Amino acid sequence: MGAYALEGRTALVTGGSRGIGRAIARRLGRDGATVAVGYARDERAARDVVEGVRADGGRAFALRAELGRHGDAAALWEAFDAEIEAHSPGGGVDIIVNNAGIGRSSDLAGLTEEAFDEVFAVNVRAPFFIVRHGLERLRDGGRIINISSGVARLAMPEIIAYGATKGALDNFTLNLAKQLGPRGITVNSVAPGIVDTDVNAGWLRGNAEAEAYAASLAALGRVGQPEDIADIVAFLASDDARWVTGRTIDATGGAGL
């Protein structure tokens, strides 16, 4: 895939300020897309990503939108509409990457209704309504890419509600793909395994034993890096992936084979 494969396109990446989303935003920016870098709290991190895209010769802007509350998706698009004209006259969007997500969860015995509601609100309800309100802005031939997780397929009862959110997201992918196929819009999930981001920093970084364990879960024998996931997203966003839709693409480096 050459650079500038996405020239003239606009991409929204939720949670684009850190971790996997940051790598996705940087990669789509390098590929020529104008990137809206979504974030909730860490404005500095979002600005760093925007500056990084610009340093690579691309176009990006930061978009603050806290997800997980009623009205969050409508507010996100309102903020997007207010910004996009300055960057891409005429507005609209070609690629929506639903990446923002939270991992806070527990086993069933430790699960509270509040924690269940929170993880579903951010990981499931927000993508549903981002797409619902985004469809009028999403051009025909566009892309929706949902960042799922290997745990939608691999049992991990320690984080049972989180796993359920990703199962729901994959089902959303399936149904959306069927609904949007006639418009030439493809919809896919990408399902990472353990990736070296802030979510895992506490138990993984600097702990050789934990790292060896995490690496041993992947057939390819290492912990995933954000760029491993971003490159797959870039493929799905490109014209080369035009004939793939409704699928969950495994991005675990071969976990649970």
Smaller CB separation from ligand NAP, 21 or 58: 21
Q: Quote the least distance from Cβ 203 to ligand NAP, whole Å.
A: 11
Q: Measuring CA to CA, which residue among 232, 226, 228 is closest to residue 248?
A: 232
Smaller CB separation from ligand NAP, 5 or 233: 233
CA atoms lying within 13 Å on the CB side of residue 140: 3
Q: Quote the least distance from Cβ 182 to ligand NAP, whole Å.
A: 28
Is the Cβ–Cβ distance between 173 and 244 less than 8 Å?
A: no
Where along the sequence are the contacts to ligand NAP (CB under 6 A)? 14-15, 17-21, 39-42, 45, 66-68, 99-103, 122, 147, 149, 192, 194-195, 197-200
Q: Quote the least distance from Cβ 86 to ligand NAP, whole Å.
A: 22
| CA dist., res. 209 & res. 166, Å (int) | 28
Is the Cβ–Cβ distance between 158 and 106 less than 8 Å?
A: yes
The residues, any chain, with a CB within 8 Å of residue 149's CB and separated by 6 or more, are 162, 163, 166, 191, 192, 193
Q: Quote the least distance from Cβ 84 to ligand NAP, whole Å.
A: 18
For residue 7, give both structure tokens: 């020239």
Q: Quote the least distance from Cβ 252 to ligand NAP, whole Å.
A: 8
Smaller CB separation from ligand NAP, 139 or 171: 171
3-state secondary structure at position 187: strand
Is the Cβ–Cβ distance between 44 and 117 less than 8 Å?
A: no
Q: Count Cβ atoms below 10 Å from residue 43 Cβ, excluding itself.
A: 12
Smaller CB separation from ligand NAP, 68 or 246: 68
Is the Cβ–Cβ distance between 63 and 75 less than 8 Å?
A: no
Q: Quote the least distance from Cβ 34 to ligand NAP, whole Å.
A: 18
β-bridge partners, 120: none
Smaller CB separation from ligand NAP, 47 or 59: 47
For residue 240, give both structure tokens: 């080369």
3-state secondary structure at position 166: helix
Q: Which of these is catalytic: 4, 39, 162, 213? A: 162
162 is catalytic: yes
β-bridge partners, 60: 35
Smaller CB separation from ligand NAP, 46 or 185: 46
Catalytic residues: 162
